[in-house]
Structure 1
């Protein structure tokens, strides 16, 4: 997930929390959004980058808070979905609460299957190309126990399984996730405290293929047959409130992560020549304090936070053997390393009048490289990206300025500007020297390329955002959002060609305009158009992706008090949107026009 386009690679710079539990994968930092069943979430809230430093690692671009729906009443819900590309799915949720409200339980199951769409441009497809199929299944069970009015205990168990086709007969990946957590919350008139603990287990596997020039045949190129990940963590926070506009939050958290990749590489004459194992352990923990002060009549508020984290990488290794004979080809261990990272933030809001308010915030924070970035290589077609066990943490310094204006009843405007200074930003740096590329990756595929995750000295992201929300009438509203985000590598000693280049997959301009309304008492409709400017698919700015636009519309109709049907069309005018370009010119494309329809039945 990328907010404001601040990432120089696909690794997440945004922390996602579900009821306080980190959702970023312990191995790769990504978030598997398909695991969240509709109906389980009640709300989502985004904390901007300059106010997110108190959460430490993985939060330099912001924090997304997801909150569960409260199982405070007996309810059953059945939801269905079907549509284009052979898509069909369902969600079944049930919740129960005792008469005295001391105990509540919520359970859900969710499944989705789709034949998918072709991810490669039509005139470039061959015999081996297939649709991007998807199959997911998940289950979630949660209990809320209130032994006292001011105390709650919430254990949770969730499981998710996903399989994806990656565009050819052989290319595919699969994920399994198991999560266990418990959250305990206590409240008094002046103190609210919360303790949580969690365990996360992941299993991942992927096969990457090498396809010939006319795409009539393929062979496996990399088989990552076992990529386990594990996370164990917890935290404790205490919020003290004086009731006079003062609030202080104290806390500490700890997360231990471990992962490795077991893979077969170097497929020649019908057999793999190398079996590789690489991985290690990461530990990060911190303590923090946050203070909030509100002025009279809430006309102004001041917020400040400070945090210090200890981090460590340990037990790093990489071994390679001949699969047929088990002969040792490489046996490397990486020295343990550790460090301390401080984070600070400050924010001021001031209401100049009933209709106008201004805000400013500053922050400094960091992001550790994930275990995936440090140890696991990957391949997309003939383009290889190698891992790097020597990656250093990224440092972010951020400034935000903004204004909120309500010039008339029903009209809201928000304008903001931001600037990120990023040190040691991690990017997939192309290796243009053939001998160096061969030494890093072992070999270079014909017509392919080699890159390695490396720290680039300095980068900047400068931008502004603009949002207008206009409630035209009691039934209709209009929304306009615009984002300008200009990213640049500003200093790169090891790769001078990067200097002045924008981040990959980071358009400077993007906008959404939408209309929502209720033309009839039981009917709600919406229509949106979204555009994005051109961008590049590589750090050197050689593979351009053109500008794009798309539209979507939909609605829902209340058939009865407990039954609603909904429908939507994505990419209404069937625009072919290029999402990636390989080093040999193969163009990946996004979802074509798609129609979805479903039902929501509460009983």
Structure 2
């Protein structure tokens, strides 16, 4: 394909002329050319392994005991959410993703993208894990360390790339139904027909449960309620070839999630509607262009832990995310893969909440608050991978223009009269970042790699403008927060001593300057602040082995020595909150020739601290999960799943001894079918 040949397709994609696009989509595909798997992006550059990525394949994604993506991501030691709870018993706004024990305050320090689109909530920065159904995915790639490519702004702790399942991986019709502990149900189905030379995939999932009691037995009161949940999501994906080496991809996602946490009436809701369109050209001039829109909302009711009346109603938090990218790979010779592009992200959101006097039986309104703002990043990036025999050199740079504008915080009394109206000054600046790496294959069995990188992350609108309460602690927002900036280096070796056995070892040093953290002011108040730095250094180990044709083993371990640098503060030299020193995961799987299969996953996480002063400890935890599948013939299978089979006590929150617990022993039985 010549460069000019791409022009009609690009115009078709962005101009909206349906007749022309339809006609192009019906052109026959030249089957004499190399096989192309529809629905994928451009191939990975050859220098990608220099940054020590870990890949989770589809078999593992579709064989987890919980059926939830955040649990599978736990296979990569060092991955963590702000809290240990999964998306059934965590507040959605606390589900930020991070890596390498860089701490956090519920916003994601890791860039999570699905088919090239950032998934973080535009206002909060959390990841809607409950809507990212593993059955819809082909693979996940986790890269620990700063990123520079498309949407690299925000990848200070690394990136998690999710790719949708291809047509070859999706049966035309499939479905499953499970029943579990605490009257839980999980139902999912998909329909993926071929349409012309492309395909459409429609999938849905609904799960609900009465939930378990997150409160320890000796702390329960009359108002204590189980962590009930009820959520659904529907995904639509369409892929249409425009020519033998060009295609257009569309993806839509709608989700809704309701949860109750700790007390009766402490209900939260999150919902979203996402859409994206992507154009991929695989000719000599390779192009990857996409545009997306996200509409999200969140609400949350806080119940007083002393009077058990409503103290706060965060009733409405609408937000919108818009963005896109264009990446071009010009033909520069077989030895080079050059990537040049631009990306942009725009976020805006508002927070509406009502405060109540929980000490009075009438529970009257005391204040009404409205806050919000806008922010944007527009980045220009260039990267090149240069192959010189067994040596691959890779390097790239980004220049980002960021803005934070229209920030405000307004309060009104119960009658609606304005009692406070603060408008914050607009801010903007340029931020430059880059990375470089090298991969040298000494032999087929040994590869050496090293990399260095910088990066940055803007504070979210939530961190800037929204205070929140998890009784009895209130955390104040801070409109003066500045961007976090990362510097890091790492070195590693990848070994394949015998066929079927791989081992990876990485040593790293990361420094996150201006790290945003929650600082304790007194027993009931914290505030978000930039600290001088968080320094994380450690070692990561990954291993996998196919011991026999039926038996396989995989494992991951991370040792992270992470400290806060804050001269003059009480927490100087302490461990960042929610950051374990040790984390490990191991899975052993057996697949017989006749069909039955068994897999068992063991996980360990060391103790963590709830607060910056290290007064509240989350003890270490060891859990075991298992999945057994028995084929019944004709595409049917019986599956039994077990979570936390030892019924270990997993503390997910500890504030002065007031605790929440994670998922207890949970058993599932269900049927699945595919045609």
**Structure 1 length as normaliser, TM-score?**
0.92
Paired residue secondary structure (1:431): strand
2:664 pairs with 1:589: no
Measure the CA separation in 1 of the matches of 2:333 and 2:598.
43
Moved more, 134-143 or 159-168: 134-143
2:219 pairs with 1:146: no
Deviation at 1:37, TM superposition (A): 3.1
Q: Which residue of 2 aligns with 1:159?
A: 254
Q: Which residue of 2 aligns with 1:173?
A: 268
Over residues 437-494 of structure 1, what are the superposed CA-to-partner deviations in whole Å (9 max), with x where a residue is unaligned? xxxxxxxxxxx5100111001220011011232322121122232110111112244x
Measure the CA separation in 1 of the matches of 2:300 and 2:591.
46
Distance 1:54 1:141, change over 3 A: closer
Distance 1:38 1:358, change over 3 A: closer
Q: Which residue of 2 aligns with 1:201?
A: 295
Deviation at 1:223, TM superposition (A): 0.7
Deviation at 1:377, TM superposition (A): 1.2
Mapping 1:59-458, distance limit 5 Å: 59-71=155-167, 75-98=172-195, 100-101=196-197, 103-188=198-283, 190-212=284-306, 217-267=307-357, 269=360, 270-296=363-389, 299-323=390-414, 325-432=415-522, 449-458=524-533
Measure the CA separation in 1 of the matches of 2:249 and 2:609.
45
Distance 1:464 1:91, change over 3 A: same
Q: Which residue of 1 aligns with 2:601?
A: 528
Measure the CA separation in 1 of the matches of 2:668 and 2:478.
42
Measure the CA separation in 1 of the matches of 2:619 and 2:646.
17
Q: Which residue of 2 aligns with 1:437?
A: none
Over residues 405-452 of structure 1, what are the superposed CA-to-partner deviations in whole Å (9 max), with x where a residue is unaligned? 1223332211111111111000011113xxxxxxxxxxxxxxx51001
Over residues 199-243 of structure 1, what are the superposed CA-to-partner deviations in whole Å (9 max), with x where a residue is unaligned? 11011110011122xxxx411111111111111111111123445
Measure the CA separation in 1 of the matches of 2:547 and 2:333.
38
Mapping 1:467-478, distance limit 5 Å: 467-478=542-553
Paired residue secondary structure (2:193): strand
Q: Which residue of 2 aligns with 1:47?
A: 143
Q: Which residue of 1 aligns with 2:670?
A: 598
Mapping 1:547-558, distance limit 5 Å: 547-558=620-631
Measure the CA separation in 2 of the matches of 1:333 and 1:492.
31
Moved more, 246-255 or 507-516: 507-516
Measure the CA separation in 2 of the matches of 1:211 and 1:132.
16
2:570 pairs with 1:497: yes
Measure the CA separation in 1 of the matches of 2:210 and 2:447.
49
Measure the CA separation in 2 of the matches of 1:61 and 1:153.
31
Measure the CA separation in 2 of the matches of 1:352 and 1:44.
28
Paired residue secondary structure (2:318): strand
**Contact (CA 8 Å) 1:53, 1:364: kept in 2 or not?**
no
Over residues 470-528 of structure 1, what are the superposed CA-to-partner deviations in whole Å (9 max), with x where a residue is unaligned? 322121122232110111112244xx101011011111011123321124521111122
Over residues 352-381 of structure 1, what are the superposed CA-to-partner deviations in whole Å (9 max), with x where a residue is unaligned? 222111100000000111111111111112
**Contact (CA 8 Å) 1:310, 1:340: kept in 2 or not?**
yes
- Structure 1 stretches lacking a partner, 5+ long: 433-447
Measure the CA separation in 2 of the matches of 1:170 and 1:74.
42
Measure the CA separation in 2 of the matches of 1:300 and 1:132.
53
Aligned residues: 575
Measure the CA separation in 1 of the matches of 2:202 and 2:104.
39
- Structure 2 stretches lacking a partner, 5+ long: 1-96
RMSD (Å), alpha carbons: 1.6
Q: As a proportion of its length, which structure holds more strand?
A: 1
Deviation at 1:142, TM superposition (A): 2.0
Paired residue secondary structure (2:570): helix
Measure the CA separation in 2 of the matches of 1:591 and 1:252.
43
Distance 1:127 1:520, change over 3 A: farther
Measure the CA separation in 2 of the matches of 1:260 and 1:222.
16
**Contact (CA 8 Å) 2:555, 2:584: kept in 1 or not?**
yes
**Contact (CA 8 Å) 1:53, 1:343: kept in 2 or not?**
no
Paired residue secondary structure (2:552): strand
- Which of residues 627, 637, 641 in structure 2 aligns to 1:564? 637
Paired residue secondary structure (1:489): strand
Distance 1:207 1:133, change over 3 A: same
Measure the CA separation in 1 of the matches of 2:387 and 2:524.
55
Distance 1:347 1:275, change over 3 A: same
Measure the CA separation in 2 of the matches of 1:343 and 1:104.
39
Deviation at 1:64, TM superposition (A): 1.1
Over residues 362-401 of structure 1, what are the superposed CA-to-partner deviations in whole Å (9 max), with x where a residue is unaligned? 0000011111111111111211111111110000001111
Measure the CA separation in 2 of the matches of 1:114 and 1:74.
28
Deviation at 1:50, TM superposition (A): 4.0
Q: Which residue of 1 aligns with 2:87?
A: none
Paired residue secondary structure (1:81): strand
Paired residue secondary structure (1:39): helix
Measure the CA separation in 2 of the matches of 1:51 and 1:382.
38
**Contact (CA 8 Å) 1:56, 1:343: kept in 2 or not?**
no
2:612 pairs with 1:539: yes
**Structure 2 length as normaliser, TM-score?**
0.83
Bigger RCO of structures 1 and 2 (CA < 8 A, at least 6 apart): 2
Over residues 169-195 of structure 1, what are the superposed CA-to-partner deviations in whole Å (9 max), with x where a residue is unaligned? 12111011011211111221x221021
Measure the CA separation in 2 of the matches of 1:27 and 1:459.
24
